[in-house]
Structure 1
Amino acid sequence: MEQPGAMRVDDIVTVIIRRLADQQRVVPEYIVRDAVEAALRQRAGDTEPVPAHVAEELITGFCTGVTAVEDDSATMPAVLSGDETGRLMTALGLAVHVAAFNLDRDRLHIAQILNGAAAAMVALGAASRAAHADGTSAVLLSPATLRTARTTVVGVLQGLRDRGWQARHLDQAGTTALFGGVLDMLGAVPPT
């Protein structure tokens, strides 16, 4: 007998994807499904339909930490020099590199890192082209792009420090120093 309010895995995945999208986070469906199914297996095996209280815990858990969309209309863009732009681009590229070597771990976290790095690199590239077209080396970045870059770099550092991600092929101290330096640099940018 099905419990009142029980949900199918497909429905839970749909709700999580919608809530993440409402917060400007795009995660592939298969990543969310894998994470939900893994969480259910750890809890009680493959139980479907999922009891309402368990479904709500999963949805809340996967969407926790997702902040509300901030209004940036009154915030000035940050101005980065050519050197700072290069350092940020290097950190984002290294974030993708580290994430790619850890695809077999934390697929939801990896997807968020890859998505964030891609979005920040696209915005950074567009801003660099605009600066070049204007004949200046000052690259203007929106507060949203800075938040995305910070979140991406912090996510990789968390993966390396707290989630057991592998980066043996890299100089661990140098990689951590690069990410830390970029975070310091982004922290020096006007707050968002």
Structure 2
Amino acid sequence: MEQPDAMLVDDIVAVIIRRLADQQRVVPEYIVRDAIKAALRRRSDDGGPVPADIAEELIDGFCSGVTAVEDDSATMPAVLSGDETGRLMTALGLAVHVAAFNLDRDRLHVAQILNGAAAALVALGAAARAAYADGTSAVLLSPATLRTARTTVIGVLQGLQDRGWQARHLDQAGTAALFGGVLEMLGAVPPT
């Protein structure tokens, strides 16, 4: 017999996608669905409707991390030099490389990293082109782009430090130093 407050996996996925979108986070639906199904398998779920309390726990767990969208209207853009722009581009490219290398391990987290890196790289490229068109080497980045870049780099570090991501093909000390230096440059404290 179906529980009156139970939810189907499709309904849980729809709620998560909507809440993530409200937080300015975009994750492909198949990633969320795979992650929900994996979480339910760990609970020995039979594939039927999910009890309301478990559904709410899953939704809250997948949507945590961003509590509110920040208002950037009173914040000035950051000004990066050519060297700083290059360092940020290198870190974002390395973030994509490390995340893609671990796709089979942690698809939801990797999708968030890839999405954040892509958004930051697009904004960084547009800002670099604007600087070139103006005849200057000062690249202006919005607070939202800086926040996305910080979140992306921190997410990769968390993957390497806390989630068992593989990066044996890279110089571990050099990778950590690059990410730490970029986070310091962006005004973030690297996680320890």
Give TM class, smaller chain: over 0.9
Aligned to 1:169: 169
Match in the other structure for 1:34: 34
Q: Which amino acid aligns with 2:31?
A: I
Counterpart residue identity of residue 183, structure 1: L
Taking the aligned partners of 2:67 and 2:125, their CA distance within structure 1 comes to: 26
* 2:104 matched residue in structure 1: 104
1:160 matched to 2:160? The reply is yes
Give the C-alpha shift of residue 5 in structure 1.
1.3
Letter in 2 for 1:59: I
Give, in angstroms, the shift of residue 48 of structure 1.
1.4
The separation in 2 between residues aligned to 1:161 and 1:28, in whole angstroms, is 25
Q: Which runs of 5+ in 1 are unaligned?
A: none
What do you get for the CA RMSD once the two structures are aligned? 0.9
Q: Deviation per CA, 1:26-58: give whole Å up to 9, x if none.
A: 000010001000111111323410001110000
Instruction: Tell me if structure 2 keeps the 8 A contact 1:91–1:179.
Output: yes
Per-residue CA shift, 1:140-176, capped at 9, x if unaligned? 0000000000000000000011111111111011000
Question: What SS does the corresponding residue of 1:93 show, helix, strand or coil?
Answer: helix
The answer (yes or no) to whether the contact 1:8–1:48 under 8 Å persists in 2 is yes
Structure 1 residue ranges (4+ consecutive) displaced by more than 3 angstroms after TM superposition: none
Corresponding residue for 1:78? 78
Match of 2:14 in 1: 14
Deviates more, 1:164-173 or 1:42-51: 42-51
With 143-152 and 63-72 compared, the bigger mean Cα shift is at 63-72
Q: Percent identity?
A: 88
The answer on 1:183 being equivalent to 2:191 is: no
Contact in 2 for aligned 1:37/1:46 (Cα 8 Å)? no
What are the superposed Cα offsets for residues 105-162 of structure 1, whole Å, 9 maximum, x if unpaired?
A: 1100000000000000000000000000000000000000000000000000000111
User: What is the deviation of 1:68?
Assistant: 1.2
Q: How does 1:104-143 map to 2 (within 5 A)?
A: 104-143=104-143
* Residue 87 of structure 2: aligned partner: 87
Q: CA separation in 2, counterparts of 1:49 and 1:174?
A: 48
The CA distance in 2 between the partners of 1:33 and 1:54, in whole Å, is 15
Read off the aligned partner of 1:187 and give its amino acid letter. Answer: G
Q: Distance in 1 between matches of 2:104 and 2:17?
A: 21
Tell me how far apart the structure 2 counterparts of residues 66 and 155 of structure 1 sit (CA, whole Å): 13
